[in-house]
Amino acid sequence: MSEIEASSSASATPRPRAVRAGGTALTHSVVVEPAAPGDDELAHIPSAAFFDVDNTFMHGASSYWLARALAKHGVLSMRDIIGFAWKQASFKFRGTEHHGHISSVKTSALELVAGFPVDEMRALCEEVVDRDISPRILDPVRRLAERHLETGQEVWLVTASPVELAGLLASRLGLTGALGTIAEIENGCYTGRLVGDLMHGPAKAEGIAQLASERGLDLEQCTAYSDSANDLPMLRKVGRAIAVNPDSRLARQARHYGWTVLDYRRGRRAAKLALPAATAAGVGAGLVYLYKSRDRD
């Protein structure tokens, strides 16, 4: 079973907190800031905004930065990182990234962290969010999320990244919560298995539907944001879909359905053509960093 520990504050103004996702069908959720009990004005708002994370809320892939931190701390080897990087880059070059490919990479990663303490993973996630991910948050997208919050809507991150990482990022941003991939935990350590499915593709649509049912949200009144055609199931599940820095397939679908497109890239054609090369270059830079770090150690 997944362990998501509850924390609370004794101060007069409660701080955002995570609560255990158990006892309901919500196996993928971390609630960061639930509606205040008895606050009818907030409790009966039936809508939310759902944001993909990688290349939507931030530049790049959140899991890459976590993998780099795991390698730096000796949890993953250079061979592991190179293997993951090669798979990711080859999928990008061929344009064949889909649930099966993503799942194979994540499954390999899960097996490698089997036995790793959850507390240490959470500490690593704090390090990664504060040092690597926060500076890469897209300010225009952050402002969009803040506007949703200002109107009384819930705001959720929805990502294939580990729920520990996603929940912490949501907390740092002051959002309502996060839906992420949950790794099974026993005796305070990871088992190398998943709880439920990878939060990717159709699972995102199923996840927000579960969340809507649990929290009384009207999906027709909800908004979803993503950069990738992999998230079309989620985008089609809500009343308002918005493409952010879309890949070519999602851009076509957005035109077909008349969805809003927000492009914060500089030179859209250049960005599109440079994506595979940038992915490979980013991987290469990360590997050089790791080699240098090990030499210094």
Residues with a known catalytic role: 52, 54
Torsion of CA 136, 137, 141, 144, to 10 degrees: -160
Asked if 195 contacts 2 with a C-beta cutoff of 8 angstroms, the reply is yes
C-alpha span between 210 and 198 (Å, rounded): 15
C-alpha span between 83 and 161 (Å, rounded): 18
Look at phi and psi of residue 178 and say left if phi exceeds 0, alpha if psi is from -120 to 50, else beta.
beta
* DSSP run (H or E) holding 248: helix 248-257
CA nearest to 137, candidates 232, 243, 244, 35: 244
